[in-house]
Structure 1
Amino acid sequence: MPDAMKSTPQLVYLAFGTDIYQREAVFSIVSALAHSTAHTDARQFDIQVFTDDPQFYAKLPVTTHVIDPTWDGPHHYHFRIKHAALLSVLNEYEKAVLIDTDTFFRASPDILLARVTGGRLLCNAIGAPLGESPSLPSQSIAHIRQVGLLEASLRQTNSGVIGLTTADKGILEHSIRLMDDLRPLAPELYTLEELCLALAAHGTLQLGACTDLIHHYWSRKAQFRAKIQAWHTKHHGEPLSTAARADVLLVNDRLPRPPQPYRGWQKAVTALIAKERRQFIRELLYGCHDYSNEFDRACATAWWDKALVNIEERLGKPLSAEQMTLWLADPLLKLLAGRHHPTLHAHLLGRLTSKQVV
């Protein structure tokens, strides 16, 4: 290891674009600090944030950096920036873990960092072998096969976490080259960055996962963002206060749904509603339950928005404000929604009105 290489492990975040990504990153960082077993002065890791809006992190013990404008590469592929940012840190530090913003910690970062060892790629999750994946577009598969990279045994990786030692940073250089080569051939492949990382590591590094340590909410993002927005609204002024850290632990990885017996009762009762809108009403009621957890209660509008998207997809057309008014006037819905009905009514009609104006 070169003498200039620094030994303190690094947690690395990349946050740019709209404010929600910055708020996600702040929450993830505070969750790391809340779970840390060491006092601030004795903490065994540092945190670096590459961002286009450093003011979000002014009250956090992090080092911020500007994002190199060349990191998106010749094809301006924004996920390429992840690998370039982590590579820049590994050019200076012995060990680093890049963590996506849409994450939060379940346990101490020290445990996560201990899993980063030579000869190993730490990722968030290890997927099925490439040959068993139904999710890759056939055109992308054809291009990968064309350039001789298709290996059915290759395990896919979820790169919500990428942990490496500097001795293995060549994997990132390899994955960046693959992205530059394959991006024009498979522009429709959203997960190209993850695929290139898996291709670069295949046969070279062992794979490790950390879903037990970090929750990556790439699915049902609206509900988790609602929880995090509620935390940010409450604590952005003092994100490291005792109350803020305690509330971080209340933001759990479960989707807030009424208890099963209650859902079963609702399902039986809503069988009286016309079939066309029965499922719509049931989904609305997810947001009308009086959850004991305040951050679960914050998901109400996310559930209502998702119910609207789902019904319009099932119908194959947008709902009109008139039709929504009629549906929301259903006496059974009013009874089941209870005190939440006026807020539900105002929110959905507001959504439809804004859509029609646009």
Structure 2
Amino acid sequence: MMPGRAPRQLVYLVYGGKPEYHREAKYSILSAYYHAQGKCPRILLYTDEPAQFTDWPVEVIELDAVTLKEWTGPASYLHRRKAAAIRDALAYADQSIFIDTDTFFTSSPLTLFERLANAPWLVDEIEGVWKEHKGKVLHDVLAPHLADRHCVDQNMLLINSGVLGFQADASKIMDKTLALIDEMHPMAPDIHIIEQFAVGVAARHLGRPAESVGVLKHYFSGKNYWRHIIGAFFMQHGEKFSDELVQASHEVPQSKPRPAWWHRLNFRVRSLFLPSRVRSHAKLAYYASVMHADVYAEACGRGYAEELRRKAIPQGASISAQPWSRVLSKQHRQHLAQLLDISE
């Protein structure tokens, strides 16, 4: 059964079968319910695994393999699915606001609709102006084409589409967005933000959008850390929806945990004579080793350890063989070795 029409809705898209994606969406939904205080708008969720959201307060539209394939378009661009889901969701509410899963609310989601009432459209944030990207691949490849074919000038605003809504019917804008994606992605296939760039091009004539700043946190730049933190929350409380789970969600820190001040000071002293190229890796190692204050600090420590592994530990190498290891005590090295499952 397809959902009925609602006055307002929040829209989520989650696909791909990875548990961390489902947990991201669930935690974002919990935060919306916590801050809405009983007045949460309808939540419409597009997913290829509806069983993951059984008994959750969402209306689900199941995505089969055919639809997911179709939504990638002629160039098989995965992020095109987001624009396709937004376009589809417009049929089910008078006003829709799309929310990326890597978010959580810090204020009532109703505030987003209040901001949208005073602006033609709403975005996560304004990230800059098109002319500021001169010399970058996206600008070099697309600027002449967009100027000639679509009369896009250099003062177009660039937006982050982690939150996206329109005051009036946006069917034509989203149709234009999909067409622009199909046109531009083959020209810049390595640029993963073509979807949100296309939205900015299609909606540029609407005027300046409102922003979601202060209403929710979009942690796209620290996803590795927040996935560990959110995973720790569900490890403690389970994933069965309840009012108790909504209330418990507020125990998760609203900003990424940091080591205690004395640990930060100690690191500065220990790393004083390290070369600058080594110091950033030493910081990752030290922070991973000392973050034990609570389950969320420990989870963040695992994030530091994983970043360290990616950046600074060659395959098969030991910790003590690395130049940054001199900031670590024997106890620190032991703990880091346990986190990374490698030798000291």
The residue correspondences of 1:135-214 to structure 2 (distance < 5 A) are: 136-137=137-138, 138-145=140-147, 147-165=149-167, 167-214=169-216
Q: Which residue of 1 aligns with 2:94?
A: 94
Residues 270-300 of structure 1, C-alpha deviations (whole Å, 9 max, x = no match): 3466887554333212123345453232111
C-alpha distance in 2 between matches for 1:199 and 1:331: 51
2:292 is aligned with 1:297:
no
Q: Which residue of 1 aligns with 2:338?
A: 346
2:44 is aligned with 1:48:
yes
**Contact 1:14 1:82 (C-alpha < 8 Å) held by counterparts:** yes
List structure 1 segments (4+ residues) > 3 angstroms apart after TM superposition: 134-137, 140-150, 259-262, 270-279, 290-293, 325-332
**Contact 2:282 2:327 (C-alpha < 8 Å) held by counterparts:** no
**Contact 1:117 1:164 (C-alpha < 8 Å) held by counterparts:** no
Residues 55-103 of structure 1, C-alpha deviations (whole Å, 9 max, x = no match): 1111311111122332222222222221221222212310011111101
The residue correspondences of 1:104-119 to structure 2 (distance < 5 A) are: 104-117=104-117
Q: Are residues 311 and 141 of structure 1, via their aligned partners in 2, closer, same or farther at CA, if it must alter by over 3 Å?
A: farther
C-alpha distance in 2 between matches for 1:268 and 1:180: 53
Residues 204-252 of structure 1, C-alpha deviations (whole Å, 9 max, x = no match): 243110021011111021111111111122223434342x334422323
Paired AA for residue 9 in structure 2: Q
2:336 is aligned with 1:334:
no
Q: Are residues 25 and 34 of structure 1, via their aligned partners in 2, closer, same or farther at CA, if it must alter by over 3 Å?
A: same
C-alpha distance in 2 between matches for 1:167 and 1:282: 49
Q: Which residue of 2 aligns with 1:62?
A: 58
Q: Which residue of 2 aligns with 1:356?
A: none
C-alpha distance in 1 between matches for 2:20 and 2:248: 19
2:23 is aligned with 1:23:
yes
C-alpha distance in 2 between matches for 1:10 and 1:345: 46
SS at match of 2:271: helix
Q: Which residue of 2 aligns with 1:9?
A: 8
**Contact 1:256 1:286 (C-alpha < 8 Å) held by counterparts:** no
**Contact 1:31 1:105 (C-alpha < 8 Å) held by counterparts:** yes
Q: Which residue of 1 aligns with 2:83?
A: 83
Paired AA for residue 131 in structure 1: K
C-alpha distance in 1 between matches for 2:118 and 2:94: 10
Give the CA deviation at 1:349: 4.0
**Contact 2:292 2:298 (C-alpha < 8 Å) held by counterparts:** yes
Deviates more, 1:157-166 or 1:124-133: 157-166
Residues 148-172 of structure 1, C-alpha deviations (whole Å, 9 max, x = no match): 4542101111000111245233211
Give the CA deviation at 1:331: 7.7
Give the CA deviation at 1:112: 1.6
**Contact 1:125 1:211 (C-alpha < 8 Å) held by counterparts:** yes
**Contact 2:40 2:109 (C-alpha < 8 Å) held by counterparts:** no
C-alpha distance in 2 between matches for 1:179 and 1:278: 41
**Contact 1:49 1:63 (C-alpha < 8 Å) held by counterparts:** yes
C-alpha distance in 2 between matches for 1:30 and 1:171: 30
The residue correspondences of 1:214-225 to structure 2 (distance < 5 A) are: 214-225=216-227
2:118 is aligned with 1:123:
no
Deviates more, 1:141-150 or 1:290-299: 141-150
Paired AA for residue 233 in structure 1: M
Give ranges in structure 2 of 5+ residues lacking alignment.
Answer: none
Give the CA deviation at 1:29: 0.7
Q: Are residues 349 and 328 of structure 1, via their aligned partners in 2, closer, same or farther at CA, if it must alter by over 3 Å?
A: farther
Q: Which residue of 2 aligns with 1:249?
A: 250
**Contact 2:282 2:325 (C-alpha < 8 Å) held by counterparts:** no
User: What is the percent sequence identity of the aligned residues?
Assistant: 24
Give the CA deviation at 1:329: 12
C-alpha distance in 1 between matches for 2:208 and 2:283: 45
Deviates more, 1:166-175 or 1:13-22: 166-175
Q: Are residues 269 and 174 of structure 1, via their aligned partners in 2, closer, same or farther at CA, if it must alter by over 3 Å?
A: same
Give ranges in structure 1 of 5+ residues lacking alignment.
Answer: 313-317, 353-358
How does the TM-score come out when normalised to structure 2? 0.86
2:286 is aligned with 1:285:
yes
2:261 is aligned with 1:232:
no
SS at match of 1:49: strand
Residues 161-202 of structure 1, C-alpha deviations (whole Å, 9 max, x = no match): 111245233211111111122122221221111111001111
